[in-house]
A and B are shown apart, each in its own frame.
Chain A
Amino acid sequence: MTKTKLKTVTLELPASRDTLAELEIGTVVYLTGRIFTAREGVYKRAVEDGHGLPASREQMGSANFHCSPAARINEDGTLNVGAVTATASFRFAKWLDGWFELSGCNVIIGKGGMTSEIYKKSFVPANAIYLTTVGYGTGALLGRGIKSVVDAHWRNELGLAQAIWVLDVEKMGPFLVEGDIHGNSLFERENAKVAAGIEAAYEGTRPATMQRYGELDDKTKEVI
């Protein structure tokens, strides 16, 4: 585990609402239990195209990782996952309500989080929290946390990268609590702290002579 003065916990999966409720934003988390990968290909197929999920909730686990692993299927059919790194989550918001209902997940893991608006709208009713990966390139460390690769669903339909990889993990991490059970966002808290510095850095600059349609020029806003 990475040495730090930040509060650090190991979270066993599946986790109850009460356990998740104790996690504050900014807490360092390591995961033990079953997780599965799912990103846009899976969301579209499961939620939008109405295919549902390829296995039971018990078989898939209760934590959904927004990622696709660096993995291969060996000649004998066994599965090998080397490194895992999250992909940016904000792009998946439109499928979330249906996704929580379908999957029953209460932990979402990804890169960069979502907005507190989305947390309040979709995560809070589902009693779910959001964990962000760290770096974000800690693929090798996360890869080390994988105890076994249980299955790879929909690999023919979606390809290796977009397939659902079911993983049993032990002390996999580090992650940070980005969205807590009440829908607060660590990134938004940090954005507010950084805002004054941004304003100061812009002193002595000038807006471009030629503007662009659709330009966002308020630096307290985000582009996601």
Chain B
Amino acid sequence: MAIPIATLQTTAEELTAKAAIEIPADYLAGLEKLADIESGELSAFVIQAMLENYKAAEEDRRAMCGDTGCPRWYVKYGNEARIDGGPIALEAALRRATAQATHNIPLRPNRVHPLTRADHDNNVGMNAPEIEYAFHPDADWVDLTTVHKGGLFGTDYRMLFPGDGIEGIRRFFLDTLVAFGKRGLACQPAIVGIGLGGNKDTCMVLGKHAACLRTVGSVHPDPDIAQLEVELKELGNSIGMGAMGFMGSSMVVDCNIEAGYCHTGGMPMSVHMFCLSSRRATARVHADGHVEYRTDPEWFSAYSRRTTVEWDTPMAQAAE
């Protein structure tokens, strides 16, 4: 049975509003944990104000942050899923939903032409919103996820080499946090996503996905990577820098790392900070048209992280 395009469009509009207004529970819980042990008076005040801000946003149904960031889409297709009108119709529906929701909520029309600065006032334009795809075996649903990540600060890339080792990784991690943490340019405490390996472009994409498409508290299945996640989170919170760069201990709500096999001579690394407005929302649209909303994108799976040539793992494991 093909999923009706109208269902996908209304779901996408609803997701845009949810992402803009409702702070995900996993991020909120992580932030509250940091707040409990924050001893810096100014940093604690900032977090307190943010907690009140999330409440105000939900009560008034208004955007939690005036800066919409860059709304974008992640689509995960079950291998058996069929959409009315196919992927072209889906892309049109996502663009329509973005424009419609921008007006209705309202969101700030953030997207402009990079040179002329022309603004369509609807967050839609050339290559915007971005739409990325993933696939999932043995499934007939479609997962729609929207992320509205703040745009300007907190991201960097560097080509490291195997000889740089963990010390080099720690250094580049600190460089990024300190550079963008001063004055709170990155609007920390943040979910810090790290891309390790791949090519330059995949390294950036993996790191961004790690920040925006994994939840606070999630753990990478590879034990070496999982250990580095813990270590870097502790390191970030031991700098002595809190919210807005004030003295304190609240810098990293969680550290998520995603890795890809890379050139044998290199060890590329990217760092991304998903801010105090860690806006994401997901919906699963089933083949019969019914819709389930959630805040965990479940973007990564045993399938997406597979290391073998063939995919023949039993279904139960594939669903993770």
Q: Which residues of A contact B (CB under 8 A)?
A: 2-6, 26, 28, 41, 67-72, 80, 82-88, 111-113, 132, 134-144, 159-162, 174, 176, 187, 190-191, 193-194, 196-198, 200-202, 204-210, 212, 219, 222-224
Q: A28 vs B161: C-alpha distance in the bound complex, in angstroms?
A: 47
Contact A70 to B45, CB < 8 A, known contacts A135-B50, A144-B56? no
Binds A, one of B207-215, B241-249, B254-262, B282-290: B241-249
Which single residue of chain A is at the shortest CB-CB distance from B57? A140
- How far is the CB of B191 from the nearest CB of chain A, in Å? 14
* Other-chain residue from A82, A83, A137 in contact with B50 (beta carbon distance below 8 A): A137
Tell me which of B163, B183, B241, B276 contacts A135 (CB under 8 A).
Answer: B276
Tell me if B119 and A161 are in contact (CB < 8 A). Answer: yes
For the complex, give the distance between the alpha carbons of A159 and B57 in Å.
Answer: 25
Q: How far is the CB of A86 from chain B (nearest CB, A)?
A: 8
B263 at the interface (CB under 8 A from A): no
- Smallest distance from the beta carbon of B165 to chain A beta carbons, Å? 8
| A3, A135, A193, A201: the one within 8 Å of B235 (CB) | A201
CA distance A111 to B25 in the complex (A): 26
Contact call B167/A204, Cβ cutoff below 8 A? yes
- Which residues of the partner chain A approach B62 to less than 8 Å between Cβ atoms? 70, 82-83, 139-140, 143
Q: Tell whether, in the assembled complex, residue A143 and residue B108 are in contact, meaning their CB atoms are under 8 Å apart.
A: no
Surface stretch bound by A, among B128-136, B152-160, B291-299, B310-318: B152-160
Contact status of A141 and B53, CB under 8 A, knowing A70-B66, A197-B239, A209-B168: yes
B48 and A161 form a contact (CB under 8 A): no
B residues apposed to A, CB below 8 Å: 41-42, 45-46, 48-50, 52-54, 56-57, 60, 62-68, 103, 105-110, 112, 117-119, 121, 150, 152-153, 158-161, 163-165, 167-168, 170-172, 174, 178-180, 182-185, 187, 235, 238-241, 243-247, 275-277
- When the two chains form their complex, are residues B45 and A28 in contact, meaning their CB atoms are under 8 A apart? yes
Contact, CB under 8 Å: B66 / A190:
no
A88: chain B residues within 8 A (beta carbon):
152-153, 185
Shortest beta-carbon distance, B287 to chain A, in Å?
A: 36
**Which of B53, B112, B171 interacts with A206 by CB under 8 Å?**
B171
- B residues less than 8 Å from A6 (CB atoms): 41-42, 45
Q: Nearest chain-A residue to B68 (Cβ)?
A: A70
Known: A138-B50, A141-B53, A223-B182. 15 other contacts (CB 8 A): A86-B66, A112-B183, A135-B244, A135-B276, A136-B276, A138-B53, A140-B62, A197-B241, A201-B174, A204-B170, A205-B170, A207-B168, A209-B160, A210-B159, A212-B158
A112-B184 contact in complex given A143-B62, A198-B178, A201-B239, C-beta closer than 8 Å: yes
Q: CB within 8 A of A208: which of B121, B168, B276?
A: B168
A135/B182 in contact, CB under 8 A: no
Contact of A205 among B168, B180, B241 (CB under 8 A): B168
Taking CB atoms, residues of chain B closer than 8 Å to A28 are 45
In the complex formed, the residue of A with least CB distance to B173 is A205
Nearest chain A residue, comparing its CB with the CB of B278:
A137
Contact check, A208 vs B57: say whether CB atoms are below 8 A apart. Answer: no
Which residues of chain B come closer than 8 Å to A136, judged between CB atoms? 65, 184, 187, 244, 276
- 29 CB contacts below 8 A, A to B, read A3-B48, A4-B48, A6-B45, A28-B45, A71-B108, A87-B67, A88-B152, A112-B185, A132-B244, A134-B244, A143-B63, A143-B66, A144-B60, A159-B119, A160-B108, A190-B245, A194-B241, A197-B240, A201-B174, A201-B240, A202-B174, A205-B167, A205-B171, A205-B174, A206-B168, A207-B171, A208-B160, A208-B171, A209-B168
The chain B residue with its CB closest to the CB of A28 is B45
* A219 and B178 contact, Cβ closer than 8 Å, known pairs A82-B63, A159-B112, A194-B247: yes
Closest A residue to B121 using CB positions: A160
Q: Which residues of B contact A113 (CB under 8 A)?
A: 183
Q: Point out the residues of chain B lying under 8 angstroms from A193, CB to CB.
A: 240, 247
Whether the Cβ atoms of B63 and A70 lie closer than 8 Å is yes
A82 and B106 contacting across the interface, CB-CB below 8 Å? yes
Given contacts A5-B41, A187-B182, contact A209 B164 (CB under 8 A): yes
Complex Cα spacing A194 to B182, Å? 9
Q: Do B63 and A141 touch across chains, with their CB atoms under 8 A apart?
A: no
Distance, CA A167 to CA B288, complexed state (A): 48
Report A-chain residues with C-beta under 8 Å of the C-beta of B183: 112-113, 187, 222, 224
Closest chain B residue to A224 by CB distance?
Answer: B183
Q: Point out the residues of chain B lying under 8 angstroms from A144, CB to CB.
A: 56, 60
In the complex, are the beta carbons of B66 and A84 less than 8 A apart? Answer: yes
Structural contact, A135 and B49, CB atoms closer than 8 A? yes
> What is the CB-to-nearest-CB distance from B186 to chain A, in angstroms, rounded to a whole number?
10
Task: Report the minimal beta-carbon distance from B44 to chain A, rounded to whole angstroms.
Answer: 8
B-side contacts of A161, CB under 8 Å: 108-110, 112, 119, 121
